[in-house]
Structure 1
Amino acid sequence: MLAAIGLDETHESAYRALVSVGAADVPGLARRLALGEPETERALRRLERHGLAAQASGRAGRWVAAPPGAALGALLTQQRHELDRAELAAKVLAEEYRARAVEPSVHDLLEVVTGAAAVSQRFLQVRLGASREVCALVSGGSDGTGGIGGGAGEQAGGRGVAHRVVVERAVLDTPLGLGGLSAALGREERVRVVDRVPTKLLIADGALAIVPLTSRTAEPAALVVHASGLLASLTGLFEAVWREALPLRLGEGADTVREEAPEGPDATDLEILSLLLAGLTDASVAKQLDLGLRTVQRRVKRLMELTGVTTRLQLGWHAYEREWVARRVRVPQV
């Protein structure tokens, strides 16, 4: 528990033992710790350098513990100051990096990372670097580099970072995958499922993406993409897959998940569609149904997202294909 202030398990055990007995000599403390006397003495010297122990005055060979409140409090304060300085240095470096990246060259927009450890570390850095939203496509048998759950997800979720994750259905067939999904849903991440994702992908804040380059048989490699047309394409790919995927929800058990069919249009949505297909404008539809104009536009936008289309003409075609409206539409009142 005291590793954060520079004490390993042996030093912490020595300090705890010394606190419990008040004072002890090296042989007695060594027996209590089940350590050799030389190792015990080295531990005491280390505690002395940290201000946690001192040799008793007037009694050679006796050691006493420093009061934990004062001694540990001083170390914690020092640690906080060091962390504050490190955070300030990180902010300065980030500002320098952003200033240099205002007019990036073509070579600065792409970064190739090779090696399993380097790829895994870069995925982790991209995810933990997000401040608003993480979007991920997770393939079956994922090694966790762009995945769900785990310490990175907990840390990002704890900072209020939103998550949208699409997983392959194969992930649901593995206990490890189900565990990660349950943990992600428990953190209120939004998770959807499809039969197959086109690629593993991770996007942070819409400003940085990382995608694998090689197959499992080759040396692992990944491409880090900064703000560019390629990043916009990757973001569009994610959004297209997200629209087609089915939502996942926690099941009755804590470690089970289930798919949910996408919500369809309600009666008001169907009335709006029928009137629009009859040729009415948004304003006329709003007046006819006694709705606000923004309400009509918001409902139409939701229906377009639900069907995965980008134009109202496509929405009308999908409405007929899905039998949301009949060929004969309601005639507006004059």
Structure 2
Amino acid sequence: MLAALGLGPAEEEIYRLLVKRGRAAVQELAADSGRPESETLGILSALAERGLVVPQPVESGATLFVAAPPAVALGGELRRRRDELSAAEHAVLTLAEQHRTGAEGGAVEVISDVDAVRHRFRQLQESARHEVRSMMVPDQRVVTRDDNAAEGAGMRRGVLYRTILHRDALTEPGAVAQALAVLAEGQQVRIADAIPVKIMIADHDLAMLPLFSGRNTAAASVLVHPGGLLDALVAYFEQAWEQAYPLAPQAAGGGLVEQRPDAIDEFDARMLALVLAGLTDQAVGARLGVSRRTVQRRIGELMARAGAESRIQLGWHAARRGWA
């Protein structure tokens, strides 16, 4: 735990033992730690040089060791490390800005080497502070889900992951188990019938997508830096997210269930299909065995639900929501 302040495991152990005792002889600390006295003395000497331990001779000629107050002994080192990290963070931000303004083209960066792509894929997730959005296609080759350790690490530090998954990806071996695992970890997953291109976006800072059209499994990639193009990708993702269907664990059976809160029942689906095919309300009612007024009422309810002001708009919403 104190390794971040420069203490090795042995030094931390002896220091903690001494803090607990207040003061102790070498023999006592050696017995407590199970280390030879010579090794314990060497560790205490190193701690004394760092001001963490103070040797105190006693009348018998022996030496007792006293732990310096942790807040005093380690507080200075802690402040120094904080200052170093703050300076490093400022330097990274400065370099990032210089990279954005100095890179060829400014807005995009092309990477074709497989190892470089994998490295930047990991860096993109490690740089995320708030959210990672992704659209995933079947047959991940460059970085498989099993190889993507940065995803789990990101979720553990509190980064929100939202993923839109191509429906065909769930047919791959182990895909359902993986989806259940990430859902349990807090990832939000939705499913879509079509994903034209795979994308990963970290916050509003960086996006990564394939370089070539129609080659989602190829290594060559484009990194998109802040600007209008990145804004467009974020907006595209959010629109696709609204149209995709949430996945959730099945209540029983250990599978997945696709949540469709806006789905319509079979009667409305048949009625809507007939209306959109051009049949009159009277003809639709005759086909379904209901009155024309019932057809008009149900169509009106669907229009209100979709926020459509006309039947033409209802047809557009029906296609968008998979109603017909």
Query: TM-score normalized by structure 1?
Result: 0.62
Distance 1:203 1:62, change over 3 A: same
- Compute the displacement of 1:226 (Å): 2.2
Partners of 1:17 and 1:224 in 2: how far apart? 51
Distance 1:73 1:252, change over 3 A: farther
* Structure 2 counterparts to residues 264-275 of structure 1, below 5 A: 264=263, 270-271=303-304
Kept in 2: contact 1:138–1:146 (CA 8 A)? no
Equivalent residue for 1:154?
156
Equivalent residue for 1:65?
66
Please give the secondary structure, in 2, of the residue aligned with 1:64: strand
Equivalent residue for 1:7?
7
**What amino acid sits opposite 1:315 in the alignment?**
W
Please give the secondary structure, in 2, of the residue aligned with 1:83: helix
* Structure 2 counterparts to residues 71-220 of structure 1, below 5 A: 71-95=70-94, 97-98=96-97, 101-102=100-101, 104-106=103-105, 109-112=108-111, 114=113, 116=115, 119-131=117-129, 133-138=131-136, 141-145=144-148, 148=151, 150-157=152-159, 162-167=160-165, 168-169=169-170, 170=172, 173=175, 175-185=177-187, 190-194=188-192, 200-211=198-209
Q: Percent identity?
A: 26
- CA deviations 1:288-324 (Å, max 9, x no partner) are xxxxxxxxxxxxxxxxxxxxxxxx597167289835x
Kept in 2: contact 1:137–1:146 (CA 8 A)? no
Partners of 1:278 and 1:177 in 2: how far apart? 38
- CA deviations 1:84-133 (Å, max 9, x no partner) are 442244235414542663475327720427465x6555334322433554
Kept in 2: contact 1:182–1:257 (CA 8 A)? no
Distance 1:165 1:320, change over 3 A: closer
Distance 1:66 1:241, change over 3 A: same
Structure 1 residue ranges without an equivalent (≥5): 280-311, 324-334
Equivalent residue for 2:260?
261
Distance 1:106 1:250, change over 3 A: same
Query: TM-score normalized by structure 2?
Result: 0.64
Please give the secondary structure, in 2, of the residue aligned with 1:263: coil
**What amino acid sits opposite 1:155 in the alignment?**
R
Partners of 2:108 and 2:96 in 1: how far apart? 13
Structure 2 residue ranges without an equivalent (≥5): 139-143, 265-297
Equivalent residue for 1:289?
none
Distance 1:29 1:166, change over 3 A: same
Kept in 2: contact 1:128–1:155 (CA 8 A)? no
- Compute the displacement of 1:76 (Å): 3.5
**What amino acid sits opposite 2:125 in the alignment?**
R
Kept in 1: contact 2:176–2:255 (CA 8 A)? no
Q: Once superposed, what is the RMSD of the aligned Cα atoms?
A: 4.4
- CA deviations 1:165-216 (Å, max 9, x no partner) are 123324864545422221124xxxx32134786665321234411247799x
Partners of 2:47 and 2:8 in 1: how far apart? 11
Partners of 1:18 and 1:114 in 2: how far apart? 53
- CA deviations 1:44-82 (Å, max 9, x no partner) are 122213322122224655342325xx3345413531343
Distance 1:264 1:108, change over 3 A: closer
Partners of 1:51 and 1:221 in 2: how far apart? 53
- CA deviations 1:231-258 (Å, max 9, x no partner) are 56755764575355320235558x9753
